[in-house]
Structure formats: C-alpha cells, structure tokens
C-alpha cells in the first residue's frame, strides 16, 4: 500500500492506473478505522480494480463546541488495518493541504442540510459537502462507498453528485453493528463500560419502532412518543431527537401506513452523542429507497 500526503503525487499515481483501464473505488474516512470502515473497503475491493481510502479529520464539519481536538486519531493503526485489507493507496493530507491559506469556497446542499443533524449542528453538512467535493475532484473515483449509519450524509452526497454532475456512483453499504446491535462508530471509543451498555437503547428503540409498525401502528406521533419513553427509561440516555421522516426528503411523515419510513435517532449517552437509523415498513411493503447515486 502507498500512502500519500499531497494531492499532486496521488493524482499522478491514479492517472497512471486509469491509463491502464483500471477502475477506482474510494472510501473517505476520518480515520479511527473500525469494522464498519473495513466493510466499506471490502466492498470497494470486490467492485473495483483499485481501492483508495482517505484519512482526514475534517475541521470544517465540527462546530465550535464539538470534539474536533479530541477526535480519535491513530494514523499508524489505520495504515496497518488498511494495508492488511489490501488497500492500494491511502491519502492522509494535512489540514493545510486541503484548506490552504486564503481558502474561501464552500459547497452546500440546502434543503437536506436544514433538518435533523443539520438543524442541530449548523454548518456541519456544509463542511461535509465541501470536503467530499474536494476529495472526489482529487481522487476522481468510479465508485465511492458510504455507510447507511450516517443516512442523512449518504442522502446528501447522493444529491450532491447528481446536482453537480460528478461522474461517481455512490454505493450505500448497510450499517455494521456489534453483536448487541450498537452501530459501529469511532465515537463508541469514548463510552465507559457502563455507558457502552446503556448505548444499546438506540438499537432497542429502532427494533421497537419496527415491531410497532409491523403490528399495525400508523400514527407517527404515537410511535415517536413510545420511542422517546423507551429512551428516557435508560438513566444514562438523553434523547436529542426521535424523527419519523420520508426516506428521500427527510420531511416528517403523517402516516406509517403503506410506505417506507426512516426512523432517525440522536441520543446522548453521558457526554457522547450517538446517531442511528432504520428503514421500517408495514408487513407486505418492501423496503426500497430511491437512489440518486449517479450523475
């Protein structure tokens, strides 16, 4: 595996591979790699001739009181894990490489950035959209791989690619979970053993939503209230939001009958804020979402 810190050498390397007719799969990450990231890497390797990952903790997607400085970083460990998975190239730029002095351009996906995570973390998705656009321009991948755990991010990037005619196919990959259901996340490392046990309340809430809908519940307000009560029953948990929304627009739904609904959660376990989601539908309704993933 080759590691690149600068844009020019990476572009030269990839230009040579494309001249040989090779396809490029790309997995952008903020490092602290875990089994969820490795699943994305394995999918990229199965689909493409060349697999590239980036490791970059993007400062522009963190708010002033968020955990940018404390976000877990261990490039040596990430390099070993990526190499063991057969990654061809790892791009690990500095902040100055991606945001040189005088940088003043940003990208924003307006409507999808205004709700859920975007409403609670102003500027977050502007930072995501900007850095992903830059990385796509640098790597120019044929396919890029994103986990459904960050569903709103996935939807936003699909829209970004379509709206800006970026010739990259976005490949969604199902959420990877621990045996007890907790969605894998780099932020799980912040949890104490007691908080780690409490964090399973997110998955239990998603399971309960599915049970209610399959049992015939159709009122999203009632289902939301029951999920909020379930989360409140965990002493270490504090709900930030429980939302039942349309899976393509992220706007609130008025009924859970005869359609697929996204249940999106944000919950604080102690000082750690975790998100999770699930697509649910009544019995007999296939869980299929529209995909915007290719320009």
- Which of 29, 22, 20 minimizes the C-alpha distance to 45? 22
Residue 163, phi then psi, degrees to nearest 5: -65, -35
User: Per-residue pLDDT for 34 more than 80?
Assistant: yes
Average pLDDT over residues 268-280: 96
Can you give the pLDDT at residue 292? 61
- Which of 92, 96, 95, 93 minimizes the C-alpha distance to 83? 92
Q: At what angle do helices 75-84 and 35-47 cross, to 10 degrees?
A: 40
Average pLDDT of the chain to the nearest whole number? 95
Give the percent of the chain with pLDDT over 70.
98
Does domain 186-280 fall under CATH 3.30.1300.10? My reply is yes
185-195, pLDDT tens digit by residue? 999 999 999 99
User: Per-residue pLDDT for 210 more than 90?
Assistant: yes
User: Per-residue pLDDT for 50 more than 90?
Assistant: yes
Q: Please, are residues 88 and 76 in contact by the beta-carbon 8 Å criterion?
A: no
How many angstroms separate the Cα of 219 from the Cα of each of 158, 212, 260? 29, 10, 14
Average pLDDT over residues 145-155: 97
Q: Which residue has the tokens 């929304």?
A: 245
Residue 126, phi then psi, degrees to nearest 5: -65, -40
Under the banding of pLDDT at 50, 70 and 90, the label for residue 69 is confident
Residue 205 CB neighbours (<10 A):
25
Can you give the pLDDT at residue 288? 78
| R_g over Cα of the chain | 19
Is residue 34 flagged as an active site residue?
no
Q: At what angle do helices 151-163 and 124-139 cross, to 10 degrees?
A: 60
Q: Please, are residues 214 and 282 in contact by the beta-carbon 8 Å criterion?
A: yes
Q: Where are the alpha helices (DSSP H) in 173-266?
A: 193-198, 201-214, 220-232
DSSP assignment letter at 177? B
88-142, pLDDT tens digit by residue? 999 999 999 999 999 999 999 999 999 999 999 999 999 999 999 999 999 999 9
User: Per-residue pLDDT for 291 more than 70?
Assistant: no
**Token representation of residue 179:** 């045996």
Topology of the domain covering 2-173: Rossmann fold (3.40.50)
Cα–Cα distance measured from residue 275 to residue 117, given in angstroms and rounded to the nearest whole number:
9
How many angstroms separate the Cα of 12 from the Cα of each of 4, 50, 132? 11, 14, 20
212-242, pLDDT tens digit by residue? 999 999 999 999 999 999 999 999 999 999 9
Q: Please enumerate in sequence order all residues whose Cβ is within 8 A of that of 219, keeping only pairs 6 or more positions apart, or say none.
A: 255, 256
Alpha carbons within 13 A on the beta-carbon side of 202: 32
User: Per-residue pLDDT for 290 more than 70?
Assistant: no
Angle at 269 between CA 263 and CA 273, to 5 degrees: 65
Domain borders along the chain are 2-173, 186-280
User: Per-residue pLDDT for 295 more than 70?
Assistant: no
Q: Which residue has the tokens 């844009």?
A: 7
User: Per-residue pLDDT for 66 more than 90?
Assistant: no
Cα–Cα distance measured from residue 200 to residue 63, given in angstroms and rounded to the nearest whole number:
26
**Token representation of residue 188:** 């799980």
Please tell me which residue in 37, 65, 124, 246 is annotated as part of the active site: 37
């Amino acid at each position: 595996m080759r590691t690149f810190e600068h844009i020019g050498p990476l572009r030269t390397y990839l230009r040579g591979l494309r001249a040989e007719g090779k396809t490029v799969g790309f997995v952008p990450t903020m490092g602290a790699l875990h089994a969820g990231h490795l699943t994305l890497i394995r999918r990229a390797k199965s689909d493409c001739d060349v697999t590239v990952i980036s490791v970059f903790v993007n400062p522009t997607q963190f708010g002033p009181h968020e955990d940018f400085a404390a976000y877990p970083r261990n490039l040596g460990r990430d390099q070993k894990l990526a190499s063991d998975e057969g990654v061809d190239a790892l791009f690990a730029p500095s902040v100055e490489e991606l945001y040189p002095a005088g940088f003043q351009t940003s990208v924003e996906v307006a409507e999808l950035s205004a709700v859920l995570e975007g409403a609670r973390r102003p500027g977050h998705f502007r930072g995501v959209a900007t850095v992903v656009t830059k990385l796509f321009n640098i790597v120019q991948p044929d396919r890029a791989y994103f986990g459904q755990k960050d569903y709103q991010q996935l939807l936003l990037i699909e829209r970004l690619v379509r709206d800006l005619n970026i010739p990259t196919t976005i490949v969604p990959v199902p959420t990877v979970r621990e045996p007890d259901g907790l969605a894998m996340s780099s932020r799980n490392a912040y949890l104490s053993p007691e908080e780690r046990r409490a964090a399973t309340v997110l998955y239990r809430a998603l399971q309960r939503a599915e049970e209610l809908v399959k049992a015939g519940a159709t009122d999203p307000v009632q289902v939301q209230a029951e999920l909020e009560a379930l989360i409140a029953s965990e002493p270490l948990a504090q709900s930030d939001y429980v939302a039942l929304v349309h899976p393509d627009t992220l706007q609130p739904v008025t009924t859970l009958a005869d359609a697929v609904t996204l249940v999106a959660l944000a919950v604080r376990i102690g000082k750690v804020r975790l998100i999770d989601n699930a697509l649910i539908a009544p019995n007999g309704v296939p869980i299929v979402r529209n995909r915007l993933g290719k320009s």
